[in-house]
C-alpha cells in the first residue's frame, strides 16, 4: 500500500489504542475546503509524541479518510472517537459504550460530522 503525498500544512496527532494500551500517530492533511484528511497511521511512543509536539496545534473540522489510510498499527481499527473527558483520539470499533484508555472516562458514543483534533507540525 502506498502513502498519499501530503501538503506542507500536514501535521500529526496522537491517538490511543485501548486494545494494545499503546499510542500511535496519525498524519492529518488539511484540504483546501477545510476538511481534515486522515492520511496514515504510524507507531510512536508517548514520550516521542510529546517531544515532537503532537499536541501543539488545535483544529476543528470535518474528517475524511484517505483511500490509503491504514488504520491503527496495533488493532487495525479505522474508526475513532474523541474522549469527552480528556480530548484523546481513541480507536473505535462500533462499541456503544467506551472507556478512554488515557483518562478512564466511560461514556456512550454518538456520530458527529465535525471534530476537534490536537496535533503538531509534520
pLDDT-based confidence at residue 88 (cuts at 50, 70, 90): confident
Residue 6 counted as domain residue: no
Residue 42 counted as domain residue: yes
What mean pLDDT comes out for the span 43-53?
85
Residue 2 counted as domain residue: no
Q: What is the pLDDT of residue 65?
A: 94
For 111, the domain range is 11-121
Helix, strand or coil for residue 28? strand
The model's pTM: 0.86
- Asked if 49 contacts 11 with a C-beta cutoff of 8 angstroms, the reply is no
Residue 68 counted as domain residue: yes
Amino acid at each position: 500500500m502506498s502513502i498519499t503525498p501530503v501538503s506542507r500544512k500536514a501535521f500529526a496527532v496522537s491517538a490511543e489504542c485501548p486494545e494494545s494500551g499503546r499510542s500511535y500517530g496519525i498524519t492529518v492533511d488539511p484540504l483546501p475546503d477545510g476538511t481534515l484528511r486522515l492520511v496514515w497511521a504510524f507507531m510512536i511512543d508517548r514520550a516521542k509524541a510529546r517531544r515532537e509536539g503532537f499536541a501543539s496545534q488545535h483544529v476543528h473540522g470535518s474528517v475524511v479518510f484517505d483511500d490509503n489510510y491504514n488504520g491503527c498499527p496495533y488493532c487495525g481499527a479505522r474508526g475513532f472517537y474523541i474522549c469527552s473527558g480528556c480530548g484523546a483520539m481513541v480507536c473505535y470499533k462500533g462499541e456503544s459504550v467506551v472507556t478512554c484508555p488515557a483518562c478512564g472516562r466511560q461514556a456512550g458514543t454518538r456520530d458527529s460530522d465535525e471534530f476537534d483534533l490536537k496535533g503538531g507540525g509534520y
